[in-house]
Structure 1
Amino acid sequence: METIKNYKSYNENKSIEELQFNLLQDINNLEHLKLELEFYKFLLEKPIFKIHVINLYERLSDFKHDIQSLDSKRVALLNDIYLHSNHIEQKIECDDMACDAFFIHEHDAVALRIFEFNQKVKAFKFNFFQYLESVFIN
């Protein structure tokens, strides 16, 4: 299965309801990610790692930092989505092409940020799980 690396927008012909639904899905995913990140932090604090692993403390500290960074970005992205969700309701009042184009452009920018953030989360998880698998006590 090939990973999607570039974002492609299909928002131009979507209804306001569909755009709002997609935003609600993104909000839900970002809210659930909070619990997942908290669990990863919990794992890093447990004595479940092999002893005498080279740079274990440093790598675990790096992962803790990555988790904190992802969580901060998650919160900022959620705030942007909430703000955009409020703006998109104003699209209903648009009656010209320029106004529609502005909202679609704004929505695409938010969708791109969500896509890029999700790519970062996937890369983090891949590296995190791969490393943990190599240092867990059998």
Structure 2
Amino acid sequence: METLEFYRSFNADKSIEELQYNISKAISKLENLELELDFYSDLLEKPIYKSQMLNLFERLSAFQKEVTTLEENRSQLLKDLKSHSILLKNKIKCQDLACDHFFIKAHDTMELRVVNYQNSLSDFKFKLLTYLKSVLKN
């Protein structure tokens, strides 16, 4: 039986430098992902598919819409992560416990959004690649 994975935060014990490092890695991944999403979009428009496939145009259009949604979500998440990174720099100036709790909660929220985005991206890739394998010309 497979265990379900749920997001758990371990950020309360991390230093500001470690949180900033994790955010910078997430930002870098999201910036690089733009090229990958552009590639999927281009791939879906190429005439490389078997003819006479049932609902081919509709399926490719649906995947294209998913790419557009993923790109919009990526862009917004990237903006929010950059803003959060600036907030983390301000945490260094803050020394009380209530302030720590606020920043850790904000970081957990951002981290969960990144995890959810990565999960939706992985699901999309699995569906797309599985479908493309069946409809690409030999």
Taking structure 1 as the reference length, what is the TM-score of the superposition? 0.96
| CA deviation map 1:27-53 (0-9, x unaligned) | 111011100000011111111100000
Relative to structure 1, the CA distance from residue 117 to residue 136 in structure 2 (aligned partners, 3 Å threshold; closer, same or farther) is same
Give yes or no for the alignment of 1:20 onto 2:20.
yes
1:1-138, aligned counterparts within 5 Å?
5-138=5-138
Q: CA deviation at 1:95?
A: 1.3
Q: Distance in 2 between the 1:62 and 1:3 partners?
A: 31
CA RMSD of aligned residues (A): 1.2
Q: Any idea what the Cα deviations from partners look like across 1:57-91, whole Å, max 9, x if unmatched?
A: 00000000000000000000001001111111111
Q: CA shift at 1:25, angstroms?
A: 0.4
User: How far has the Cα of 1:96 moved from its partner?
Assistant: 1.1
For structure 1, the residue ranges without an aligned partner over 5 or more in a row are none
In structure 2, stretches of 5+ residues that fail to align are none
Looking at structure 1, the residues matched to 81 and 117 of structure 2 have their Cα atoms a distance apart, in angstroms, of: 13
**Number of aligned positions between the proteins:** 137
Equivalents in 2 of 1:118, 1:58: separation in Å?
Answer: 25
- TM-score, normalized by length of structure 2? 0.96
Q: CA deviation at 1:4?
A: 6.5
The alignment-based identity, stated in percent, is 47
Report the AA paired with residue 19 of structure 1: L
For 2:4 and 2:32, how far apart are their aligned partners in 1?
22
